Amino acid sequence: MNRLLRVSLLLVALVATATQAKTPVARGTGGAAATISEQATQSAMTILDQGGNAVDAAVAAAATLGVTDPFSCGIGGGGFMVVYLAKEQRVITIDHRETAPATTTPTLFIEDGKEMDFDTVVASGLSVGVPGTVRGWDEALRRYGTMSFAQVLAPAISVADEGFTVDANFSHLVEQNERKFNRFPATAALYLRNRKAIPPGTPLRNPDLARTYRLLASGGVAAFYDGPLARAIVDTVNRPPTTAGISVRGGRMSLADLANYEARLRLPVHSTYRGYDLYGMPLPSSGGITVFEALNILEGYDLASMPRTQVEHVYLEASRLAFADRDAYLSDPEFVDAPVAGLLSKDYAAQRRSLIDAVRAASGPVAAGDPYPFQQDPSFPLRPASGALQPESTHTTHLTVSDKDGNVVAYTFTIEDWGGSGMVVPGYGFLLNNELTDFDFTPPHPNIPEAGKRPRSSMTPTIALKDGRPAFSLGSPGGSTIITTVLQTIVNHIDLGMPMDQAIDAPRLSQRNGAITDIEPGYSDSTDAKALVARGQRWSARAEEIGAANALVFNADGTVTAVSEGHRHGVGSAQVQDQRER
């Protein structure tokens, strides 16, 4: 056996071992956690075992994901956290979405009267929003946690110091971004070897990120938003340090932008569906509103008695209608008075439902509806026109944690594109986001760039209650496909009666008011797919994995089932404190 073959077999064995170590479903009592990373899930469990609550454990898991899943999330980005507080029996949300710098204008991405090239903007300082993750963690810990930064960051510091073994999925993500990462020396030094992706089986340490976490552990939130680290972020954004001979555009972020950043505590968006109370993230996340509008439309059908093909058909058409409204109306609530009450009205849903042909799909994008008469708002504001769906990267991460006292956290956070802007802050070991590309590039539109504005998001962390008690929590990455992943999983679980692991593992279809529906590999040849084609549904030519969901289910016997992906994104990781046989 030659040396190259022996090395290849060793790498395959290492990857297989890493995958087998993950358990995507676990059932038991006490606290529980589900993430896409074995190390992140273990970090959450470590904090729970030390007496921390769900909020403490969620931050610990998130910090570890910044090490092991750095192309999806990290302290260079932002996110949305939905928390159920058991003692108070209420749901709160923490918005720490990135904001546009104070110099931002609506024509940020317009040059010579035209939209700038999307990929060029992504890999530049122009795309970077003021990071909100650290401020969000601080708000969560101070208000609802029981531990300090130093305590909850300790597991992630250990992983960053000691390293972990790169798996095939991690290597593939780097490979997809080789061109972007090669532009920036600090990024290339961390994630490339001889300008190529780190191969599977390679041990990877991130001592710079470990030092950054130690800085936060000792200095708290101020260490991020003021001082040397803040200056390094601003310098990287405004004067991107690039490889010789490569030039990218800089941004116009200031130290004041960082110092002035604030997280927002917002009332959750709420709706009901077949006896469940659903709570999600309000604007500037469009996820909860869009999912709940689509569910309101679907509530008028007896889905449980319908053939699966018919269920999927009306699911796709309800999603199409909800996305038309999402794109027309939703944006940062501090800048746009969106008609949320109208969009979530059951009567409005009935009006939208009447547009669905039970046997034939719409031939293409449909127009937004008019929710204003359902607003109970006599002013009847100006109705914006809908436009084409803006490109939105599909790369984020979601985690969910509960504790022995019944507190629950559903948390989705991101740096936007795989690898964000591609820029690692030199000496600090984390990637900066490209979140400003979530704005619509061309005005007028509710979601255009403006100073201090938060771009519209699709992140959809969701907590469901039944009879006043937690029933399940759910969320996913995937850009705008997050919305359809959460929507379809809820339909699978509630209407089709699937256990949550089956609901998550089922093939995903994502219709976002386009001419075609995105599907996953292998689906187009299935019997269901062919039956839907006969109804006029059309599939994307390129099939790719959609989302990487995580969920908790709170069972009637007092146990909890933690569920992660069974096959997507390299398989997820679920754990409970006191394991029971399933």
pLDDT of 385: 52
pLDDT band at 394 (very low <50, low <70, confident <90, very high): very low
Q: What is the pLDDT of residues 457-466, one digit of tens each?
A: 999 999 999 9
Q: Is 545 exposed, middle or buried (CB count within 10 Å of its CB: 0-12, 13-18, 19+)?
A: middle
3-state secondary structure of 101: coil
Residue 574 dihedral angles phi and psi, to the nearest 5°: -130, 140
Which residue type does 64 have? T
pLDDT at 37 over 90: yes
Per-residue pLDDT averaged across 265-276, rounded?
A: 98
pLDDT band at 22 (very low <50, low <70, confident <90, very high): confident
pLDDT at 316 over 60: yes
pLDDT of 383: 54
pLDDT band at 379 (very low <50, low <70, confident <90, very high): low
Q: Quote the strand ranges of 481-572, DSSP E.
A: 509-510, 518-519, 550-554, 560-563
Give yes or no for a contact between 223 and 230, defined as CB atoms under 8 angstroms apart.
no
Type and span of the H or E element at 94: strand 90-96
Q: Is the peptide bond before 284 cis (omega within 30 degrees of 0)?
A: yes
pLDDT of 169: 87
**Of residues 99, 187, 396, 460, which has the active-site annotation?**
396
pLDDT of 21: 59
pLDDT band at 391 (very low <50, low <70, confident <90, very high): very low
Q: How many residues does the chain have?
A: 582
Q: Is the peptide bond before 106 cis (omega within 30 degrees of 0)?
A: no
pLDDT of 19: 39
User: DSSP string of 295-356?
Assistant: HHHHTTS-GGGS-HHHHHHHHHHHHHHHHHHHHHH---TTT----HHHHT-HHHHHHHHTT-
Helix pair 149-162, 133-144: axis angle to 10 deg: 130
pLDDT at 581 over 70: no
Per-residue pLDDT averaged across 120-138, rounded?
A: 97
pLDDT of 18: 40
- Percent of the chain's residues with pLDDT above 70: 93
pLDDT of 15: 37
pLDDT at 393 over 50: no
Q: What is the pLDDT of residues 522-569, one digit of tens each?
A: 999 999 999 999 999 999 999 999 999 999 999 999 999 999 999 998
396 is catalytic: yes
Type and span of the H or E element at 401: strand 397-402
Which residue type does 163 have? G
Place of tokens 């008019």: 370
pLDDT band at 376 (very low <50, low <70, confident <90, very high): confident
Type and span of the H or E element at 29: strand 25-35
pLDDT of 13: 33
Please identify, in words, the CATH class of the domain defined by 285-377+384-397+434-459+496-550.
mainly alpha
pLDDT at 577 over 50: yes
Q: What is the pLDDT of residues 344-372, one digit of tens each?
A: 999 999 999 999 999 999 999 999 999 99
Per-residue pLDDT averaged across 109-125, rounded?
A: 95
Give yes or no for a contact between 65 and 35, defined as CB atoms under 8 angstroms apart.
yes
What's the mean pLDDT when you consider all of the chain? 93
- Percent of the chain's residues with pLDDT above 90: 90
